[in-house]
Structures are given as C-alpha cells and as structure tokens.
Amino acid sequence: MEETEEEKKDEADYKRLHSFPLIRHSDMPEEMRVETMELCVMACEKHATNNESAAKMIKETMDKKFGSSWHVVIGEGFGFEITHEVKNLLYMFFGGSLAVCVWKCS
C-alpha cells in the first residue's frame, strides 16, 4: 500500500517535531546549557543504538570541559531523585521519548 501525501507530511512533521531537544529542567548558566544540550544531541545521534556509549561520551566531555564528577543517565521510562551542585543540572528529552539527565556533584 502506497503512502498518501498527507501521511508523508504527517511523518515529516513528526520527525521534525522530535528532532530537537526539549529542556524539561535546567539550572545551568545559558552558555553551559547550550553547550551541554548540543553535546547530548550529538552523542545521542552518533550512538543512536547504544545509550551507554552516548552517556560515556557526554560524561567524558563534560569532565574535560567543566571539571570532574559529572554523571549522565540516558534512556526511556526511568525515574530519579538526585543531589547535585547548584547550576549544574540539565534534564532534557530528545527524539521523542529518550530522556537525558546530566548533573554534577562533588
């Protein structure tokens, strides 16, 4: 069965809607938040089938750029309760249902 023009348009709209990061919560300064968000998107796209590798890439980059003790969780359908340093938390969604949480604690 061939897709209609309307179905193709709906699919394209859905992909466009879910191809950008959606910040759920962040207390990072603007510059750090933008850099972290771009890093998360790049890592999730590069390691689309391996969340562990994406998390490792984000953590190692954040440790080098902003000092050590960064933690990263990537996945679908998880809950969390964390303690973090003030101005060092980013919780976002990417690709529809993939959640990324990045935080620093000493």
Q: Encode pLDDT of 76-92 as tens digits.
A: 988 889 999 999 999 99
Q: Encode pLDDT of 14-52 as tens digits.
A: 555 556 788 999 999 999 999 999 999 999 999 999 999
CB 17 within 8 A of CB 93: no
Q: Terminus-to-terminus CA distance in the chain, angstroms?
A: 57
To the nearest 10 degrees (0 to 180), the angle between helices 30-46 and 51-66 is: 150
Q: What is the pLDDT of residue 91?
A: 95
In the chain the domains, ranked by start, together with CATH numbers, are 2-104 (3.30.740.10)
Query: Cα separation of 41 and 47, whole Å?
Result: 10
Helix H, strand E, coil C: the string for 30-49 is HHHHHHHHHHHHHHHHHCCC
CB 38 within 8 A of CB 19: no
Q: Who has greater pLDDT, 4 or 27?
A: 27
Question: What is the mean predicted confidence (pLDDT) over 47-62?
Answer: 96
